[in-house]
């Protein structure tokens, strides 16, 4: 018989393994390049800046899931523009990451 703690830990561990599998798949789909600007990420970098960031198109806080369709690889600069900038530098992203994403910034839009 397992304890409630052990059951919860097993569920978290399983979710983490699934998430890691999705992230590896996204890295290969996006060829280790930022979907917004094309900057090549270095997957062997220890620091966060050049490693590439997994961005949830529909934020997790808004119910977005960790799936290939909802996650894309972006560089640190673009990720910062998506989350923390305001005004004309603010970067917007929408769409299905397995198909075509639409990006927008400063009144212009483009597709990857």
Q: 12-34 as b/e, with b when 16 or more CB fall inside 10 Å?
A: eeeeeeeeeebbeebbeebebbb
Q: What are phi and psi of 85, to 5 degrees?
A: -90, 160
pLDDT, residue 87, reads 65
Q: Tell me, what's the pLDDT at 88?
A: 65
Q: How far is CA 35 from the centre of its chain?
A: 10
Report the C-alpha gap between 80 and 35 in whole angstroms.
Answer: 14
**Rounded-to-integer distance, Cα 54 and Cα 79, Å:** 9
> Which residues have a Cβ under 8 Å from the Cβ of 102 and sit 6 or more positions away?
93, 94, 95, 109, 110, 111
C-alpha to C-alpha distances, 51 to 33, 42, 43, 56, 112, nearest whole angstrom: 10, 5, 5, 16, 20
pLDDT confidence of residue 24: 92
pLDDT of 42: 76
**Are 37 and 24 within 8 A, CB to CB?**
no
* pLDDT of amino acid 103: 94
Q: Distance between CA atoms of 21 and 59, rounded to whole angstroms?
A: 19
User: Given this model, what pLDDT does residue 112 score?
Assistant: 82
**For each of the chain's 112 residues, which pLDDT tens digit applies?**
778 778 788 888 887 888 999 999 999 999 999 999 999 887 676 555 677 899 999 998 999 999 999 999 999 889 989 988 666 678 999 999 999 999 998 888 988 8
């Amino acid at each position: 018989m397992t304890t409630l703690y052990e059951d919860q830990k097993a569920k978290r561990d399983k979710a983490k393994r699934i998430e890691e599998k999705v992230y590896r798949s996204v890295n290969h789909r996006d060829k280790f390049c930022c979907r917004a600007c094309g900057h090549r990420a270095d997957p062997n970098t220890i620091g966060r800046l050049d490693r590439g960031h997994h961005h949830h198109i529909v934020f997790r806080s808004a119910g977005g899931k960790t799936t290939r369709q909802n996650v894309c690889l972006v560089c640190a600069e673009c990720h910062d523009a998506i989350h923390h900038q305001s005004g004309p530098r603010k970067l917007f992203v929408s769409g299905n990451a397995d198909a075509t994403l639409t990006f927008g910034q400063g009144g212009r839009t483009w597709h990857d």
